[in-house]
Amino acid sequence: MIVMDEDDCMVSVAKFFLEFTVGESCGKCTPCRIGNKRMLEILDRITEGRGKMEDIDKLENLAKVIKDTALCGLGQTSPNPVLSTLSNFREEYVEHVKDHVCRAHKCKALLTYSIDPVLCKGCSLCARNCPAEAIAGEVRKPFVINPEKCIRCGMCLSRCKFGAIHVI
């Protein structure tokens, strides 16, 4: 058993373990060599907001088959993090796919940065530090983040002295 809190994204946790087994696979049997790679690719899609609902079913089927058919202990246990997160935290997978939301704020691609116009003093510190030049505005007036340009690096969040940057 591994204990984690609400700051951990269950999809990312599954992906973390799978990255390890893909790296460790010897490549002998099909389910481990190709199956784990395909599971990782599906998890990549889901955490980057490109997942589809059918991906979750595919993932579950693949995990069961790999567990059932892989040659050695590594392959037979590699889908366990996927299977256990799917059975206990399926709603997190669905949120990632349907709502493009990572409630633990771990999946960068799913985050949306915005500036609270009430709290923003228009100091321009965020805009000056933004590496993507995604923030614009007039001094002493609320600044605005362009979501197209934003690379979700979190620089504005760390620099703002007024707590005006929101992340969803």
Question: By the criterion CB under 8 A, which residues form the site for another protein?
Answer: 22-31, 33-35, 37-38, 41, 58, 61-62, 65, 67-71, 76
Residue owning tokens 């996927």: 82
Give min distance, CB of 112 to another protein, in A. 28
What's 109's DSSP letter?
G
Residue owning tokens 């993507």: 132
Give min distance, CB of 46 to another protein, in A. 14
Cβ burial, residue 95 (10 Å; 0-12/13-18/19+): middle
CB nearer another protein, residue 35 or residue 51: 35
CB nearer another protein, residue 54 or residue 99: 54
State whether residue 32 is helix, strand or coil.
Answer: helix
Can you tell me the distance from the alpha carbon of 13 to that of 15, in angstroms, rounded to the nearest whole number?
A: 5
Give min distance, CB of 83 to another protein, in A. 14
Give min distance, CB of 102 to another protein, in A. 22
Locate 109 and state its tokens: 């691609």
Sequence-distant (≥ 6) Cβ neighbours of residue 40 within 8 angstroms: 15, 18, 19, 22
The candidate with the shortest Cα–Cα distance to 47, out of 100, 112, 104, is 100
Give min distance, CB of 111 to another protein, in A. 25
CB nearer another protein, residue 12 or residue 25: 25
CB nearer another protein, residue 77 or residue 129: 77
State whether residue 140 is helix, strand or coil.
Answer: coil
CB nearer another protein, residue 57 or residue 99: 57
